[in-house]
């Protein structure tokens, strides 16, 4: 089981692509979105300040609204499908999930249970930061994903 903690986050700027895609097509969407963001960031001379992430304004279903990108050191100008975005600040529960993406659901379940025990409830929106590069680490059992879910007193 992942270890959960409540942290205080600062808002931070990011360069992103947003779309609504079937859950089964998420991997392809991420590949295109991250590629477009990297090109736009390089073109505009900005610097990445953290790992790639996916922001979900609501819990995924068969189709998911998703914003994928990378945090940057300034506001990116719109370029093609790439847009500026600010990841929210404030209190959030965080945990590092170790294992394949398909097992993230169990970490979310455990996180919700832990939130209840702490007297907080989830706010709208959550994100995953992809700390491992599957191309460099082909074994899904070693992948690390930081799950961040803003909270309110509850």
Over the stretch 78-131, which tens digit does the pLDDT of each residue have? 999 999 999 999 999 999 999 999 999 999 999 999 999 999 999 989 999 999
The answer, as to whether pTM is greater than 0.75, is yes
**CATH architecture designation of domain 5-153:** Alpha-Beta Barrel (3.20)
Q: Say yes or no to pLDDT of 62 above 90.
A: no
Which pair of structure tokens corresponds to residue 88? 């929210």
89's CB contacts (< 8 A; 6+ apart) are: 8, 9, 10, 11, 12
């Amino acid at each position: 089981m992942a270890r959960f903690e409540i942290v205080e986050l600062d808002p931070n700027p990011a360069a992103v692509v947003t779309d609504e895609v079937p859950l089964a097509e998420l991997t392809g969407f991420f590949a295109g979105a991250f590629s477009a963001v990297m090109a736009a960031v390089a073109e505009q001379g900005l610097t990445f300040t953290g790992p790639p992430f996916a922001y979900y304004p609501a819990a995924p279903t068969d189709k998911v609204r998703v914003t994928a990108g990378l945090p940057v050191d300034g506001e990116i100008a719109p370029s093609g499908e790439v847009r500026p975005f600010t990841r929210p600040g404030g209190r959030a529960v965080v945990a590092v999930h170790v294992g394949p993406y398909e097992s993230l659901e169990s970490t979310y379940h455990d996180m919700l249970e832990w939130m209840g025990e702490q007297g907080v409830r989830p706010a709208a929106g959550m994100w995953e930061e992809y700390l491992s590069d599957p191309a460099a680490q082909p074994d899904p059992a070693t992948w690390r994903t930081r799950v961040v879910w803003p909270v309110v007193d509850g």
